[in-house]
Amino acid sequence: MGEMIKMVVVLTLLSVISGGGLKWYEEFTKPKIENEEMKLVKGPALLQIMAGAENNPVEQRFKVKVADTEQTIFVGKFDGKLNTIALETQVNGFADKVGLMVAINTDNNTLKGIGVTTSKETPGLGGNAKADPSFAAQFKDKSIDKEIKVTNDGGEINAISGATITSRAVCKGTMQAIEEYNEIKPQILEKIKSLDK
């Protein structure tokens, strides 16, 4: 009996100390990691889908509250107007979460483009969602009012061969981002208006 209690106590204590310590360390490194991500992962993807922007979308960003979390919105300027926003979302892929950057033209409700930011998908198969730009290019100029699906499911996106799960995940993630955008659209538009001045 005594040994039983000792086992429970030791394991619990170890877990608590380790969990608490890690939480503290995570808080400590969080701003630094966010900066690095912005610079090395989100930045390049963002600049790629917002190619030709007249401002720097990486710097022109703000946060909007969605339910309990905060979503970072990037704003791009095209033809002299701040008419494109991008937001990031995560979706379950084949191996792990796939990070997606989705840019939406707020004037005519079309996709400006999408880009994969983080992915651990199989190189050569699902990894091509990130490595091969021709897959992501299919999303460009698609209307956000229609559901985006792969051809297998009756949509218009040609799936990457050998990586149906990843392709579906990217479509799902895009829809997720669009949904989120529709939810917070009034706040975004208001914020952009104040930025425009």
Partner 1 sequence: MAKSLVAEFTKGLWKEIPPFRLVLGLCPTLGVTSSMKNGIGMGLATTFVLVCANILVSALRKVIPSKVRIACFIIIIATFVIIVELTMQAYAYTLYLDLGVFIPLIVVNCIVLGRAEAFASKNGLVRSAADGLGIGIGFTLSLASLGAIRELLGTGSLKGDVFGMLPYDISNIFGTSFEPFAFAVQAPGAFIALGLMLCVMNLIPSK
15 or 151, CB closer to partner 1? 15
Interatomic CA distance for residues 107 and 185, integer angstroms: 12
Question: Comparing C-alpha atoms, which of 77, 48, 70, 66 is closest to residue 195?
Answer: 77
33 or 189, CB closer to partner 1? 33
Q: Mask of contacts with partner 1, 114-143, x by CB under 8 A?
A: ------x-----------------------
Task: Give the interface segment with partner 1, choosing from 12-20, 59-67, 134-142, 153-161 (CB under 8 A).
Answer: 12-20
DSSP state of 38: I
What stretches of the chain adopt beta strand conformation (E)?
61-66, 69-78, 81-92, 97-105, 110-116
Q: Mask of contacts with partner 1, 69-108, x by CB under 8 A?
A: ----------------------------------------
> Could you say whether residue 3 binds partner 1 (CB under 8 A)?
yes
CB of 71 to partner 1, least distance (A): 21
Letter string b/e over residues 4-37, b meaning 16 or more CB atoms within 10 A of that residue's CB: eeeeeeeeeeeeeeeeeeeeeeeeeeeeeeeeee
> Could you say whether residue 197 binds partner 1 (CB under 8 A)?
no
With CB under 8 A, what is the number of residues at the site for partner 1? 21
> Could you say whether residue 1 binds partner 1 (CB under 8 A)?
no
24 or 179, CB closer to partner 1? 24
61 beta partners: 74
Question: Comparing C-alpha atoms, which of 7, 8, 19, 193 is closest to residue 106?
Answer: 193
Question: Comparing C-alpha atoms, which of 8, 159, 190, 177 is closest to residue 82?
Answer: 190
15 or 182, CB closer to partner 1? 15
Q: Could you give phi then psi for residue 83, rounded to 5 degrees?
A: -120, 10
Kindly list the residues in this chain that would bind partner 1 in the complex (CB under 8 A).
3, 6-7, 10-11, 14-15, 18, 21-22, 25-26, 29, 32-33, 36-37, 39-41, 120
